[in-house]
Each structure stands twice: as structure tokens, then as C-alpha cells.
Chains A and B, each alone.
Chain A
């Protein structure tokens, strides 16, 4: 049994149609629960057009619930792109295999140089990112973990789906979190955007969080890529996925992200609507649905938006991101995966947060918690 079995019980188009019929009363009922014990019907109401006039109320409740659980803090993080080599052809991604761009994979010296550049910003955790290829798969990642582990207390990754045993092996190397976005839960749309390569297998991707849960990965990030299909139904399926994961892999923490399609190398594709107001609605709906879930706010969004939305339910923000391999130190001019929208430095983002009474969090783990997998003092020195 994996999430695929649960996912198959719900028809995407029917879910989208059902959300459209939610009423003001449905929204009121969901709001009245004040963030306690909301079910998937409540989530549908909060994601529906009927909830749009209640956005201020949702935002105020979301803010209150978030502060109660997380305080006025914001995790800052930055991705380190190890390679843009990719075997997949995906319509929306700059790394897509059919794009004739220079391909780059960082070598040991470059990995260390970029890692140290990120550490110099003040980050004590690091998110490793790659495309999908057999050449830069498990063994390449394992090597990168061994190089970087002494410089960060926690390492997370957003890379191709791996097997359960590979996740377990990387956990022993210090892997603490894996972000694996489904891109779309809509079976009519998924094949149109994932044309070739291993990623064309939708079911394998859907079952990836199950493999992560079984491997005992401490934190799993779920999400959809907004712009491919109906955002309300995507979000509802994300809620379904979250609920399934929390029940089955209860030792794991979860985070959600709301990436919107950004300009990228390659052909223009039609983008379904998901504006800033709707992004706030989705984030607040999830905060009311789950007081415990971590919500991430991407550098895909503008400084103006981030400077206001930070307090509406989010718990982490990327800052100073470079989305190209070597972007921090070793090869700043290589091709990026997508164009970021907030190019402030981590220090500038942190200064803003402090100015509004929020504490930027640079370190939120200690390698000693990893028990047997923790590096020895000798290895660190």
C-alpha cells in the first residue's frame, strides 16, 4: 500500500468541481473550528472561491496559530545546485534534457567552494539540488554529503526520487530532510509536462514519500508546482497526501511549499492562474488545516510580497538563492533552473525580519542528534 492507492480513490476533475460548489456556510463552519480538527471538507471550503471574501479573517487566524506554534521566528535556507544534468524532458524546467544548454556537475573542489560560500552567509543547514540522471545519482550524492557534512549541522535535498535503501543509507550520512514535489496530482496533466525520462512515471513519483517515510527520513517536504493544473484541486490533493503521510509515517515532520511557475529557459507553456492573493489563500488554508505543518516561502516571490506574506503562516524562507550549479562561488554564470524574484542577500532578508520583530533562524539541528551517523570530532577537524 502506498499513497497511489489513496490517490486513485479520488478523481481530480470531480474534486475540482466539488470545491467550486462550496458555500459561504461551509467556509464559516471551517473558520469556526479556529484551526482545531479541520477535515478535508473544511480544507476544500477554505480553498474554494467562497472563501475569497474571508481572506483577512483567514490571515489573522493563520498568523495567530503560527505564532502560537512557532513563535515569531523564520527559518532561512539556501539551495546548493550540484548539477543541471537531467535525463527528463519537462515542459516547465530550464534543466529539461532537450534544452541546448551547457551542462555542469560540480566536482569535489567546487562542491566545497560553493558549500563554504553558503556557510559564510551564516547558514548552518543546506539544501542540495540536482536534476535527474543515473550518472549523478546516489553515489554522487553520498560523496557530496561526505564533503559537506563537516560544514553543516543538517543537510537536506531536493533531487530525483531514490529507492528506500538509498534514502536510508543517506540518512546515515546525515540526510535530515527531503523535498519531493509531485508537480501535479492531475493525471490528465502530468503526462503533458513530463514527456520523457524517469519522471514520466507518475506513480513512482507519487509513492516516493512512502519510501522516504519507510526509510525513516526525519522531514519530508511535499508540494505541487502551481501553474500546471487547477490550484484549488492541487492543494486539496496535497492535503490528502499530507494527511495520509501523517497517519502512516508519524515519526516524520512535514513541510509544504507553494512554488509557482517562473520564467525559465525553453519554450513558453500555458500557465493556469494562481495569483498572489490565491497563494495567500492556499497558505492560510493549510495553516488552519494543520497548526503543526511547516510552510515555506520561496525566492520565486517578489520582495514586496515576501515582506508582507512572511507573517501569514510561513515558517521558512529561502534567501540569497542561486539556482545554477556553482552559482555561489565556482561558476556564477552557469544556467539557472528558473529566475528568482527576490535577489536580496541573506543578510538583507535577515535584517528585514529583525526590523519587524522576527528572529531569523540559521541553525535548527545539531549533528550530535544524529546518533551513530554523527561525524566524529576528528572528522570535523
Chain B
């Protein structure tokens, strides 16, 4: 069964599962896990990759034919640092795609809404395809969309928490009103979380810890692949919803509509 393709900034991606590259025990485990996941878009922290041409355990294990790189700005604390990091990433990795993440707080790694909006405006002007990582804040998502973000990446739960879709009520609003793809990022801990995200209409999910820190990251990559496909297929098939108990004329009296002829 085929589902509709995901298109971001005019590029059709073969998978709705995006993966991180951190926390793996080795480059080869990472490569096997990515392959099992079917992911095409792969994010890596600029601060973790060698930008001087020296051998790099992440980049060297990524087949340029198979994967599209999504450098991220993890570690920057404000818009100014993010813009600098973005320019470096574009230079070093040869892509104008960018996962923008700004967290001034090193403990919980909460994204800074104000700096993210400012940085998005500037980076779009500079020709970047910007995918900002942010709170599940519907108004912020619309403002980022207007600023030219190619997608929005609201969090499902605190990063690394594996709690799942804790922000569901806000994600539903974001999905309902967004004109750009919605990628749920952070907090997804199990394949069923990813399936639930796609079922509710999210365009994609980004997963790192849940796969990289699993006992068997390769098998877990495959599990997320199936979950994302199942969730999307379920969404497109039209969920049946809970069964309504309503039966026509079930009401002995019709107190609200009996005035009608």
C-alpha cells in the first residue's frame, strides 16, 4: 500500500521518519540502524561533526546517495549564534537545509521561541530551508510559517524523555491550521508514539534517543519504520473513530427539535 509522499521545500522525501545521529555506540551501528529505518532525512549536530575535512565517524558512515543531510544548530544559545552555526554548516556540509534549534537552557534543552523566530526570519532571507524545533505552540507555528519556515517541528514531550505525545492537544491545533508540514520532534519513546503521531495527521516524526539508545538499535529502526508507515496509512484510510451509540429516532422525545414541522 502506498501513501502520499511528503514534500518539504519542493523535495519529495521517501520516508516520513527522520532520524538523529547522536547517542549511537558506533558509526557502523548508526549506519545499520539508519538503513533499517528507511529514513532519508538525517540530522546531525554541527558541533559533533568535523568540518575541517578530517575523518568523521558520523559523516563517513552516511552514503551521500542514500541520505539527505539536515545539519542542526544544537548547542547554540541565541539567534546570533544560530546564524553563525548555520553558515558554517552550509559551508561544511554543502546543504542549505537546517534544523534550527536554540536552547539557552542546558539542563532541559527547552527551545527559545523568541530567538528561534528572529533567527528563522534572518536565515530564510539568507536562503536557508529552515525547519525550526519549537514548543507545541500554535501561534508560534503560524508566525514561523509566515517567516518562511519550510516546516515546523513542535515537540511531543521534553527531549530525550521518551514520554510520547504529551502535547497532543496543542499538536492537534497546529496540525489543523498549518500550511507547512508538521514534524513532531522530541519525546517520542516508542514505535507506538510515532504511529500515534502519524495517525493524528502529523506529516513526519524525528526520532533519535528511542532508536539510538535501544538495546538493539537496528531492530528498533525497523520497528519505527513500520510504525510510521502504519500510522500514515491509518491516517489516510480515515479513522473509524469510536462507535457512536446514536441510533436514528432513538430519542423517545425530541426536546430540542420537536418545534420543527
Interface of A with B (CB < 8 Å)? 24, 28-29, 31-33, 36-37, 41, 53-57, 59-60, 63, 246-248, 250, 275-277, 280, 304-305, 308, 311-312
Partner of A41, one of B238, B240, B256: B238
Secondary structure at chain B's binding surface: helix, strand, loop or mixed? loop
Interface of B with A (CB < 8 Å)? 142, 172, 176-179, 238, 240-244, 246, 248-251, 254-257, 259-261
Question: Inside 8 A of B251's CB, which chain A residues have their CB?
Answer: 56-57
* A53 and B249 form a contact (CB under 8 A): yes
Question: Inside 8 A of B238's CB, which chain A residues have their CB?
Answer: 41
Question: Inside 8 A of B241's CB, which chain A residues have their CB?
Answer: 29, 32-33
Distance to closest chain A CB from B49 (angstroms): 37
Partner of A28, one of B176, B243, B260: B243
* B142 and A312 form a contact (CB under 8 A): no
* B259 and A304 form a contact (CB under 8 A): yes
Question: Inside 8 A of A24's CB, which chain B residues have their CB?
Answer: 248
* B177 and A247 form a contact (CB under 8 A): yes
Partner of A54, one of B177, B242, B243, B248: B248
Question: Inside 8 A of B142's CB, which chain A residues have their CB?
Answer: 250
When A32-B243, A54-B246 are in contact, do A308 and B176 touch as well, CB less than 8 Å? no
Q: List 24 A-B contacts (CB under 8 A).
A: A24-B248, A28-B243, A28-B244, A29-B241, A29-B244, A31-B246, A32-B243, A41-B238, A53-B249, A55-B257, A55-B260, A56-B254, A56-B257, A57-B250, A63-B256, A247-B177, A248-B179, A275-B261, A277-B257, A277-B261, A280-B257, A280-B260, A305-B259, A308-B256
Taken together as a complex, chains A and B put the C-alpha atoms of A59 and B260 apart, in Å, by 12
Task: Considering the complex, give the chain A residue whose CB is closest to the CB of B254.
Answer: A56
* B261 and A276 form a contact (CB under 8 A): yes
Task: Considering the complex, give the chain B residue whose CB is closest to the CB of A28.
Answer: B244
Question: Inside 8 A of A31's CB, which chain B residues have their CB?
Answer: 244, 246
* A59 and B249 form a contact (CB under 8 A): no
* A246 and B177 form a contact (CB under 8 A): yes
Distance to closest chain A CB from B9 (angstroms): 17
Question: Inside 8 A of B243's CB, which chain A residues have their CB?
Answer: 28, 32
Question: Inside 8 A of A29's CB, which chain B residues have their CB?
Answer: 240-241, 244
Task: Considering the complex, give the chain A residue whose CB is closest to the CB of B238.
Answer: A41
When A32-B243, A41-B238, A311-B256 are in contact, do A53 and B179 touch as well, CB less than 8 Å? no
Distance to closest chain A CB from B161 (angstroms): 26
Task: Considering the complex, give the chain B residue whose CB is closest to the CB of A309.
Answer: B259
Question: Inside 8 A of A55's CB, which chain B residues have their CB?
Answer: 254, 257, 260
Q: 8 closest A-B pairs (Cβ-Cβ)? A: A53-B248, A32-B244, A308-B259, A59-B256, A28-B244, A32-B241, A56-B254, A277-B260
Task: Considering the complex, give the chain B residue whose CB is closest to the CB of A275.
Answer: B261
Question: Inside 8 A of A37's CB, which chain B residues have their CB?
Answer: 172, 176
Task: Considering the complex, give the chain B residue whose CB is closest to the CB of A307.
Answer: B259
Taken together as a complex, chains A and B put the C-alpha atoms of A32 and B248 apart, in Å, by 14
Taken together as a complex, chains A and B put the C-alpha atoms of A54 and B254 apart, in Å, by 10
Taken together as a complex, chains A and B put the C-alpha atoms of A59 and B256 apart, in Å, by 7
* A250 and B177 form a contact (CB under 8 A): yes
Task: Considering the complex, give the chain B residue whose CB is closest to the CB of A304.
Answer: B259
Interface centre among A29, A31, A56, A275 (most CB of B within 10 A): A56
Distance to closest chain A CB from B159 (angstroms): 27
Taken together as a complex, chains A and B put the C-alpha atoms of A312 and B254 apart, in Å, by 13
Taken together as a complex, chains A and B put the C-alpha atoms of A59 and B246 apart, in Å, by 13
Taken together as a complex, chains A and B put the C-alpha atoms of A29 and B178 apart, in Å, by 24
Question: Inside 8 A of A63's CB, which chain B residues have their CB?
Answer: 256
Taken together as a complex, chains A and B put the C-alpha atoms of A31 and B241 apart, in Å, by 9
Distance to closest chain B CB from A310 (angstroms): 11
Task: Considering the complex, give the chain A residue whose CB is closest to the CB of B201.
Answer: A37
Partner of A247, one of B179, B250, B259: B179
Distance to closest chain B CB from A45 (angstroms): 11
Task: Considering the complex, give the chain A residue whose CB is closest to the CB of B178.
Answer: A247
Distance to closest chain B CB from A289 (angstroms): 12
* B248 and A60 form a contact (CB under 8 A): no
Distance to closest chain A CB from B237 (angstroms): 12
Question: Inside 8 A of A247's CB, which chain B residues have their CB?
Answer: 177-179
Taken together as a complex, chains A and B put the C-alpha atoms of A280 and B251 apart, in Å, by 17
Taken together as a complex, chains A and B put the C-alpha atoms of A59 and B172 apart, in Å, by 25
* A312 and B246 form a contact (CB under 8 A): no
